[in-house]
Amino acid sequence: MIKEILTQDGSPTFFSEEFGEPFHSISAGAFREAEEKFIKTTKIVEIAKKREVKVFDVCFGLGFNSLLAIHRVKTCRGKISILSFEKDLNVIKKSISTNWQELNYLKPTFKELLRNRKYENIFLTLNYTDSSIKIKLFIGEGREILKSIYRHYGETFDAVFHDPFSPKVNPELWSYDFFKLIAKMVRKGGILATYSCAGHIRKALHMAGFGVKEGVAIGRKSKSTIGIKGEATQEKLIKKFIEITTTTPYRDPQLKDPPSLIKSRREGCIHILNTTLPLEVIY
């Protein structure tokens, strides 16, 4: 069962019973969060004014990040190509029945996306193409899809919208190992945007090859996170990575471990780092 909730800006979202969280920030507003944390931060409109912009939307969900991206790029008469994945096809179907406000004109695009189905690399894909928009949406478990496709998209993307459920409930999509494969798909100077401000997420991005910076604070006091491929991480963040053991990232070396193991592995590493061995053990 999918429960619809209205967010602060009047846009809808859903509550996930599986993860125990809403798909968007209730206080920020679903559309506002997409606009401020993802569209503006990754500068896709500026790119689209020069050439086709390519976006990797990590966790499609209701499709609002991609929806806003398409709308903004169409407004500047640019072209956009979007690659994404989603575990639950029903969320996309249900999203179309909600009120997208001024973006309702894009519902035919998403309906066509749902109709045009193919199989690629054993995964079901939804596809849409016209003169200015290309969308390919894989249906399945995110890590399996990423392992299957990342080699085909080497240094392709200008922007990554990284928007899974929170690290505490969805750690498998926030590990260093997951970010490392994403980094291989991003062009130098490409921008990854995510809402999390957690130190261990920022360190994972840093280790994966992104220069990490603070983003915007929308709907809460903490600032979001930006990772820029090939740039330097802010010095104040590097200092925290070194001095604070809780910045230890999630690890998932084969990208197949259950969430409980990913979390307990990190907790074990933090425990070891916080433990001081007695001198008799050292000598």
CATH of the domain at 140: 3.40.50.150
- pLDDT above 90: percentage of residues in the chain: 90
Q: How far apart are CA 73 and CA 131, in angstroms?
A: 13
What pLDDT score does 222 carry? 83
Examine residue 10 and state whether it is found in any structural domain, yes or no: no
Domains held by the chain: number: 1
Range of the domain at 235: 25-282
Examine residue 1 and state whether it is found in any structural domain, yes or no: no
Tally: H helices and E strands in the chain:
12, 12
Indicate whether 282 pLDDT > 50: no
Mean pLDDT for 41-61 is 98
Examine residue 45 and state whether it is found in any structural domain, yes or no: yes
Q: How far apart are CA 166 and CA 168, in angstroms?
A: 6
What pLDDT score does 283 carry? 33
pLDDT digits (tens, 9 = 90+) for 162-191: 999 999 999 999 999 999 999 999 999 999
Indicate whether 199 pLDDT > 90: yes
Mean pLDDT for 7-17 is 93
Indicate whether 279 pLDDT > 50: no
Examine residue 85 and state whether it is found in any structural domain, yes or no: yes
Amino acid at 102: E
Look at residue 174 and give its three-state secondary structure: coil
Least confident of 74-83, 136-145, 236-245: 236-245
Examine residue 147 and state whether it is found in any structural domain, yes or no: yes
Indicate whether 104 pLDDT > 50: yes
Examine residue 5 and state whether it is found in any structural domain, yes or no: no
248 CB-contact burial (10 Å; exposed 0-12 / middle 13-18 / buried 19+): buried
The model's confidence at residue 82, banded by pLDDT at 50, 70 and 90, is: very high
Q: What is the mean pLDDT of the chain?
A: 94
Examine residue 86 and state whether it is found in any structural domain, yes or no: yes
Examine residue 3 and state whether it is found in any structural domain, yes or no: no
